[in-house]
Amino acid sequence: MAYKFIHVGHIGHACTVRIDNPPVNALHPDVADEIMTAAKAAESDPNVRSLVLTGTGRCFVAGGDIRYFTSLNRVAAEEMALRVQAMQEVLFRLRMPVIAALNGHALGGGCELMMACDIPIAEEQAMIGLTEVRLGLIPGAGGTRMLARLVPLATAKRLLFTGDRITAQEAKNIGLIDQVVPTGESMAAALALAESINAAGPLAVAAAKQSAIAGLDHSLDEGHRREAALFSALFDTADHKEGIEAFLARRTPNFQGK
């Protein structure tokens, strides 16, 4: 498929999606639609075991498209927010891990997009924040809910209420970022992580992600039940048999996703 705002590639078992909407990769809903289309294509490709999302230039995504905002009324604004939410829900529920390689600033909608991914890696110069209150708005694509789930509640409220930007290192210190790397190295770090993930059993990785999400969505007891069901179902897979045989033979397993 030909895309206007993103570039899609494949490196081994990793699908790479690079946002390219100059000058700051603003998250227009058309950009969100293309990300969702690429994510769904990766979902249906059995060769893809991880997805890396990054940006072009000095920003990952510097926020929503403010010029586009000026054309919106209340109804259109809600429709826009729901379109972006739908894309982020696809990323969040994708069977494979999604790694966000923050090549630069992740502000407003960029921070929301980052939080919809499984593992964010940020370059040291990146600034991160939900800045919407500085525009007389609040995050509209799940930011208030996601931030409060990822960091201590008082910290989430402080960031939401002030619209402050924080450094990548500060974001790591509060648990919002998993890893900080030198400028220019986010993609290499993300691909190295993807390679490690891709070496594991893809059905097991997908089940681990599904179980982790279930733990967020349900009670402790229900989360445990779902984990047990996902765990036991893997005993019927060829990958489990291959993993055990490889372990006992002291060789590298050759997982096929079956």
28, amino acid identity = H
Taking the model in full, what pTM does it have? 0.93
112 a catalytic residue = yes
pLDDT tens for the chain, 258 residues long, are 789 999 999 999 999 999 999 999 999 999 999 999 999 999 999 999 999 999 999 999 999 888 899 999 999 999 999 999 999 999 999 999 999 999 999 999 999 999 999 999 999 999 999 999 999 999 999 999 999 999 999 999 999 999 999 999 999 999 999 999 999 999 999 999 999 999 999 999 999 999 998 878 778 888 888 889 888 999 999 999 999 999 999 999 999 999
- What does the pLDDT look like over 194-219, one tens digit per residue? 999 999 999 999 999 999 988 787 78
Q: Tell me the HSE value of 130 on the side-chain side, using a 13 A CA sphere.
A: 26
Which one of the listed residues 123, 132, 170, 185 is annotated catalytic?
A: 132
**The pLDDT value given to residue 219:** 80
**The pLDDT value given to residue 222:** 86
- What does the pLDDT look like over 103-152, one tens digit per residue? 999 999 999 999 999 999 999 999 999 999 999 999 999 999 999 999 99
132 a catalytic residue = yes
Farthest-apart Cα atoms in the chain, separation: 64
196 C-beta neighbours (distance < 10 Å), count: 10
CA angle 51, 55, 60 (to 5 degrees): 110
DSSP annotation of 163 reads -
**The pLDDT value given to residue 224:** 86
Count Cβ neighbours within 10 Å for each residue of 39-77 and write b for 16 or more, e otherwise.
beebbeeeebbbbbbbbbeebbbbbbbeeeeeeeeeeee
Contact 174, 152 (CB under 8 A): yes
Instruction: Please give the domain boundaries of the chain with CATH numbers for all domains.
Output: 6-198 (3.90.226.10), 202-249 (1.10.12)
Which one of the listed residues 112, 124, 195, 222 is annotated catalytic?
A: 112
DSSP 128-162: EE--GGGGT----SSHHHHHHHHS-HHHHHHHHHH
